[in-house]
Structures are given as C-alpha cells and as structure tokens.
Amino acid sequence: MNKINPPPRGALWRITKLAGLLLLSFAAMNVAAAANFPVGTHLIKGTLKDWQNKVLTSSAAVTIQAVSTNGTVIASTKVADPTADGYNFLLEIPLSSKATDLTAAVGDRLNCVLIQESGLSIAATPIPVGDANAVSNICFELVNTKSYTKDGTTVNVPEEYVDTIAAWMEAYEIEGEYDPFADYDHDGASNYAEYCAGTNPFDATDKLAITAYAAPQSAPHAISFEYVGGHVYGVATTLSLTNPKWAAQPVKKSETDAEQAQVMPSADEEDVGMTTIYVVPAEGATSQFFKVEAK
C-alpha cells in the first residue's frame, strides 16, 4: 500500500491556521463582552426634606451622591428647586450586566450620601437599583431620626422635631414620651399625620382636611383643602367606607394637567392657603370616597 503523505505546509496551510486563530480570538472577545456590557440607566427621582418635613430648595446647597459599597461615586447631583410634584433631585445610575467601578447592576444597593455646603457628609438610607430605563422614587430627611413601631407599623420622626414637641408637651402637661401614633388634640389625625402635614398637633382646629368638593359629571372631581407651603400632597380613594381599601389616586394641579402621583401646591415654605387639586373618578363607580394626604 502506498503511503499518502500530507501536503506541504505552504502558504495555504499558514493562512488556514491564521484564520482559525482569528476565529478563536473573536470568540474569546465575544465571551468577554457577554460577561459584562452596558444595559442603560436607572433613574432615581427623589425628595429631600428638612426636620419639619418641608421639601428643600436649591438654597440648601446639598449634593446627593450614589456610592457603591467599595466607595466609588457612581452618580451625583445637587438638590434643585422642587418640581410641581415635590421632587427635588434626580440621580441617573449607569447600569451594566455586572457592577464595575463606574456602574451598578440591577438589584444592587447603593449608599446615598448627602453632602452639605459646609463639607459635612451624612449617610442616608441605602437605595436599591431598579431595572434599566425605569424610574424609582425615594424620600428622606437631612436629619437624624427616631423610629417608632406600633402594630407592625414603623415611622421615622426627626429627633429635632421630637425635641420640639416634647417641650410643648410639658407646657400642655402631657406626660410620657412623644407618641406619633397618639392624637394629642383629639382631632382625628395622629401626631405623625400632623407632622407630615405641618399642622399643630396641639390645636384641633389646625388639621389637614377637605374643605370643599365638587363632582361634575363630565370633568375631574375638584378637591379643595388648606395647604402648608413646602409640603407635598396626594389623594387616596376607596369605593366603600365599609372595610375601606384606600389606594393612591392620580391627581392633577389643574383640570388640563397630566396626571401625577402627588402635587406640591407651593414651594414657598412660608406660604399657607387654599388650593384645589383634581382627580379623575373611577370608571363605572357608583360611589367613590377621597381623602387628602400629606406625603
């Protein structure tokens, strides 16, 4: 039997080998690229408040940073004047399929650091990173807070506010420590609800309440109430007062505005007065009940 010798390793063999190496190199590059690639941004739309629960303006000169667990600043922005719905900052978090020094991954938790003009840094509540091209909302205070829990509900109240109310409690001869779940003036609003609304927890005539209501058939329902400047308000609705199930209701600042989750009637912290907001009634509902809430 004649032995068949392989062809000489000439130019054609070298080209074929080179092509194979190039294919392997491209495959390796694709594997590396697939391991980590950009996936967009996640927007964090937030509200930063002071110890009185009032929305801060740009005059507060506060910078908000989203910081990874390794200490890298991933996103940064300054507190701005609040928008009509009460938000005063927007963080754009760059995302990749796997977190890097300059990006986060969906599901990560970032540290939110607040930096005042004086250079003082204050660690705030950690913020979760949501999906790409989505928006999440967050609200927190530029203060130290105390936590209170009752019947499974936990609220956080600024220490400075608690100290102020404690002094008033002594003047009104109310014994014990401040209780946000109590109702010191017996007006039907809890002390915590009065903190949120900016009303006086010792004055039964000072509370957040609907003062006028109009329900035209062919237009949004108009709800009027007295507001406190610098606070954010929303509306909750239920179809029945028997075992009510309150749910947030989209609102409008005027009959022709686009719907949004909440409104800020005035950015002026000293401004107090009447305002009207509008809600679109539930389709086909024979009855519907509303309440105004301070956020």
Q: How far apart are CA 107 and CA 146, in angstroms?
A: 28
Q: Give me the pLDDT at residue 11, please.
A: 53
Give all strands of the β-sheet with 233-238 in edge-to-edge order: 247-249, 233-238, 289-294
Kindly state the DSSP code that residue 172 receives in the 8-state scheme. Answer: T
Give yes or no for a contact between 46 and 139, defined as CB atoms under 8 angstroms apart. Answer: yes
Angle (nearest 5°) at CA 146 between 110 and 165: 140
Q: How far apart are CA 232 and CA 208, in angstroms?
A: 12
Q: Give me the pLDDT at residue 180, please.
A: 97
Q: Give me the pLDDT at residue 150, please.
A: 95
Q: How far apart are CA 253 and CA 227, in angstroms?
A: 13
Q: How far apart are CA 265 and CA 68, in angstroms?
A: 35
Q: Give me the pLDDT at residue 16, please.
A: 52
Class of domain 38-141: mainly beta
Which helix (H) or strand (E) is 27 found in, with range?
helix 11-35
Task: Specify whether the backbone of 270 is left (phi greater than 0), alpha (psi in -120 to 50) or beta.
Answer: alpha
Q: Give me the pLDDT at residue 18, please.
A: 47
Q: Give me the pLDDT at residue 237, please.
A: 93
Could you report the average pLDDT of every consecutive run of 10 residues in the chain (295 residues)? Answer: 54 50 50 72 94 92 90 94 94 94 92 81 79 92 89 93 95 94 96 95 93 84 91 93 91 90 78 86 82 92
Q: Give me the pLDDT at residue 277, please.
A: 92
Task: Indicate the pairing of strand 135-141 with strand 38-49.
Answer: parallel
Residue 169 corresponds to which tokens in the numbers above?
């409690």
First CA to last CA across the chain, in angstroms? 94
